[in-house]
Amino acid sequence: MRTIGLMSGTSLDGVDAAWVETDGEAIARFGPTLTLPYDPALRRDLRRLLDLAQEQGADLPPDDPLLADCVARLTARHVEAVKAIGWQADLIGFHGQTILHRPRRPGSNHRPFTCQVGDAARLARETGLSVAHDFRSADVAAGGQGAPLVPIVHAVMARDLPKPLAVLNLGGVGNVTWIGADGELIAFDTGPANGPLDDWARRATGEPYDRDGRLALAGQPDGGVLARLIGHPYLAAPPPKSLDRLDFDRALKEAGAAALSPWDGAATLVAFCAVCVAAASRHFPAPPVQWLVAGGGRRNPAVMRALAAALTEPVRPVEVAGWNGDALEAQAFGVLAARVWRGLPLTFPGTTGAPEPLRGGRITGPLL
Ligand SMILES: Nc1ncnc2c1ncn2[C@@H]1O[C@H](COP(=O)(O)OP(=O)(O)OP(=O)(O)O)[C@@H](O)[C@H]1O
Ligand SMILES: CC(=O)N[C@H]1[C@@H]2OC[C@@H](O2)[C@@H](O)[C@@H]1O[C@H](C)C(=O)O
């Protein structure tokens, strides 16, 4: 199938789009990729929506004006992205924007919940294509974490690479996929990555992120704050596990991060991102031969330096394997869309804690 994958990630920076020809089990061809950034007003409103979703949880009404307005604007940007890709396609994989993710947690008895927003019917109508969407809720309903979803696609892409292999995505949140010699998959969210660092940089400089790690490279990690953060129970908890973009905000506040200088605060957040990845590696059955890093975090030299210091194995951008680290998640949702179409499983006991390999997603649009 000719697919277009669309991902609006937790960094809230824009929509990534990628054309992929795939049957969901192998990739025949990659096509064009692009990112359409959100304008500053939409970024700000999405960030407000995340805070509102935290307050209201599952009770956030679908007709809430901020929600409805954000959905309309972000869907319009997704329509533009599909049109800008410019290649014929049969099916769109539409992740939408996660505004709240509260999966099952040990010791907590809340109703598991994950919410991705976006108007799939409008996307189908305005592009004339079928749209696979709602990728996470079946997994959450079956007791899985609902994230991460890309590991099966990492496995498809890494078929010929030496194993064990770790693929690390550094978006707003970090997530890792460990692939064993016999194809065994273990995947989970590592901890906060760019999310808190973006919030910090925006408050300190007015810029949307710490470009090229300038703040972080000029500061020193604060030992006291780091020591308090390292004790966070998420790091030691065994997988499966996944995170909301804002899950560590309270812990960061309580650890005293807010009192640090702009430089030391950024350096501390970078160091903590790397500490979380090192903690994640302790959940692997065997050390990987290398770490391949995707996502915007690989563009931050402070982050890459901290990872190289925290991990014993080589840490390299996914480009060394010929992958596109900016488009990987969008490409993955193209592949996942084909899997939804064909009824192939998206999630697995080793990735989300699904009780068995589980199908997911729904299809909306003209081919139905
Ligand atoms: N030159 C750069 N210097 C520093 N950081 C950068 C640079 N380029 C990108 N980033 C970081 O990468 C982030 C975007 O990453 P990415 O697009 O992978 O996130 P996402 O897809 O929204 O998140 P997720 O994977 O959690 O869904 C930016 O918010 C910024 O923090
Ligand atoms: C709930 C949600 O949207 N989670 C995202 C987020 O961003 C990174 C990490 O946290 C990952 O678990 C997931 O995204 C990728 C695409 C995934 O599901 O594999």
Which ligand approaches the C-alpha of residue 8 most closely? 1
Residue 59 known to bind ligand: no
Asked if residue 11 belongs to a known ligand binding site, the reply is yes
Parse the chain into domains and list their residue ranges: 2-149+327-364, 159-321
The complex scores an ipTM of 0.97
CATH level 3 topology of 2-149+327-364: Nucleotidyltransferase; domain 5 (3.30.420)
Ligand nearest to the CA of 115: 2
pTM of the predicted model, to two decimals?
0.97
- Per-residue pLDDT of the chain in tens (368 residues, 90 and over written 9): 999 999 999 889 999 999 999 999 999 999 999 999 999 999 999 999 999 999 998 889 999 999 999 999 999 999 999 999 999 999 999 999 999 999 998 888 888 999 999 999 999 999 999 999 999 999 999 999 999 999 999 999 999 999 999 999 999 999 999 999 999 999 999 999 999 999 999 999 999 999 999 999 999 999 999 999 999 999 999 999 999 999 999 999 999 999 999 999 999 999 999 999 999 999 999 999 999 999 999 999 999 999 999 999 999 999 999 999 999 999 999 999 999 999 999 999 999 999 999 999 999 988 64
- Residue (of 96, 306, 273) closest to 196 by Cα position: 273
Which pairing describes strands 130-133 and 91-102: parallel, antiparallel, or unpaired?
A: parallel
CATH numeric code, 159-321: 3.30.420.40
Alpha carbons 110 and 219: distance in angstroms, whole number: 40
Same fold, 2-149+327-364 and 159-321: yes
Alpha-carbon gap, residue 170 to 268, rounded angstroms: 16
Q: Residue 189 corresponds to which tokens in the numbers above?
A: 């969210």
Q: Whose CA is closest to atom 10 on ligand 1?
A: 296
The structure tokens listed for 135 are 């990728």
